[in-house]
Structure 1
Amino acid sequence: MFPVTTFTASSVPPMTGRTIVVTGSNSGIGRAAARVLAARGARVVLAVRDVDKGREAAATMTGETEVRRLDLADLASIRAFASDLDEPVDVLVNNAGVMVPPLVRTADGFELQFGTNHLGHFALTNLLLPRLTGRVVTVSSNGHRVARSLDFDDLNWERKPYQALPAYGQSKLANLLFTAELQRRLADVGSPVIATAAHPGIASTNLGRAHNERRRWLRLLVSLSDRFAQSDEDGALPTLYAAVADIPGNSYAGPGGFQEGRGAPALVGRSATAQDGELARRLWAVSEELTGVTFPLRAAAPASD
Structure 2
Amino acid sequence: MSGNWTEQNIADQHGRVAIVTGGNTGLGFETARMLAQHGAKVVLAVRNVEKGGQAAARIAGDVVVQSLDLTSLNSIRSAAADLRGAYPRIDLLINNAGVMYTPRQTTADGFELQFGTNHLGHFALTGLLIDCLLPVPGSRIVTVSSTGHRIQAAIHFDDLQWERSYSRAGAYGQSKLANLMFTYELQRRLAPHGTTIAVAAHPGVSNTELVRNLPAAFRGPIRWLAPLLTQKPEMGALPTLRAATDPAVLGGQYYGPGGWGEVRGYPKLVTSSAVSYDQAVQRRLWTVTEELTGVTFPVR
- The CA deviation at 1:95 is 0.2
State the distance in 2 between where 1:35 and 1:258 align: 27
Residue aligning to 1:140: 145
Report the 3-state secondary structure (helix = DSSP H, G, I; strand = E; otherwise coil) of the residue aligned with 1:200.
Answer: coil
Corresponding letter in the other structure for 1:150: I
Residue aligning to 1:193: 196
2:145·2:200 contact (CA, 8 Å) conserved in 1?
Answer: yes
Residue aligning to 2:14: 16
State the distance in 2 between where 1:260 and 1:204 align: 14
1:28·1:232 contact (CA, 8 Å) conserved in 2?
Answer: yes
What are the residue-to-residue correspondences of 1:88-127 with 2, within 5 Å?
Answer: 88-127=89-128
Residue aligning to 1:168: 172
Report the 3-state secondary structure (helix = DSSP H, G, I; strand = E; otherwise coil) of the residue aligned with 2:60.
Answer: coil
State the distance in 2 between where 1:219 and 1:48 align: 28
Residue aligning to 2:68: 70
Corresponding letter in the other structure for 2:233: D
**What CA deviation, in whole Å up to 9, does each residue of 1:207-250 have, x standing for no partner?**
131x34x6213543454344321111011000000001121111
- The CA deviation at 1:182 is 0.3
Corresponding letter in the other structure for 1:224: L
State the distance in 2 between where 1:223 and 1:116 align: 29
**What CA deviation, in whole Å up to 9, does each residue of 1:55-112 have, x standing for no partner?**
1111111110000100001000000011111221100000000000101100000000
- Does residue 205 (structure 1) correspond to residue 214 (structure 2)? The answer is no
Residue aligning to 1:39: 37
Residue aligning to 2:77: 79
2:95·2:144 contact (CA, 8 Å) conserved in 1?
Answer: yes
**What CA deviation, in whole Å up to 9, does each residue of 1:29-61 have, x standing for no partner?**
110010000011100000000011111111111
Report the 3-state secondary structure (helix = DSSP H, G, I; strand = E; otherwise coil) of the residue aligned with 2:76.
Answer: helix
Query: Structure 2: where are the runs of 5+ without partners?
Result: none
- The CA deviation at 1:128 is 0.4
Residue aligning to 1:303: none
Report the 3-state secondary structure (helix = DSSP H, G, I; strand = E; otherwise coil) of the residue aligned with 2:153.
Answer: coil
Residue aligning to 1:295: 297
State the distance in 2 between where 1:118 and 1:218 align: 25
Give aligned pairs, total.
291
**Residues 172, 223 of structure 1: alpha-carbon distance in 2 compared, 3 angstrom cutoff:** farther
**What CA deviation, in whole Å up to 9, does each residue of 1:7-41 have, x standing for no partner?**
11111111111000000011001100100000111
State the distance in 1 between where 2:169 and 2:227 align: 18
Report the 3-state secondary structure (helix = DSSP H, G, I; strand = E; otherwise coil) of the residue aligned with 1:136.
Answer: strand
- The CA deviation at 1:171 is 0.4
**What CA deviation, in whole Å up to 9, does each residue of 1:151-174 have, x standing for no partner?**
101100112x21101110000000
Query: Structure 1: where are the runs of 5+ without partners?
Result: 299-305
State the distance in 2 between where 1:6 and 1:169 align: 29
2:153·2:170 contact (CA, 8 Å) conserved in 1?
Answer: no
Report the 3-state secondary structure (helix = DSSP H, G, I; strand = E; otherwise coil) of the residue aligned with 1:253.
Answer: strand
State the distance in 2 between where 1:45 and 1:276 align: 34
* Structure having the larger proportion of residues in helix: 2
State the distance in 2 between where 1:230 and 1:103 align: 28
1:72·1:120 contact (CA, 8 Å) conserved in 2?
Answer: yes
1:135·1:195 contact (CA, 8 Å) conserved in 2?
Answer: yes
- The CA deviation at 1:195 is 0.2
Residue aligning to 1:301: none
Corresponding letter in the other structure for 1:206: E
2:200·2:255 contact (CA, 8 Å) conserved in 1?
Answer: yes
Bigger relative contact order, structure 1 or 2, given CA contacts below 8 A and separation 6+? 1
Report the 3-state secondary structure (helix = DSSP H, G, I; strand = E; otherwise coil) of the residue aligned with 1:247.
Answer: coil
Residue aligning to 1:151: 156
State the distance in 2 between where 1:191 and 1:81 align: 27
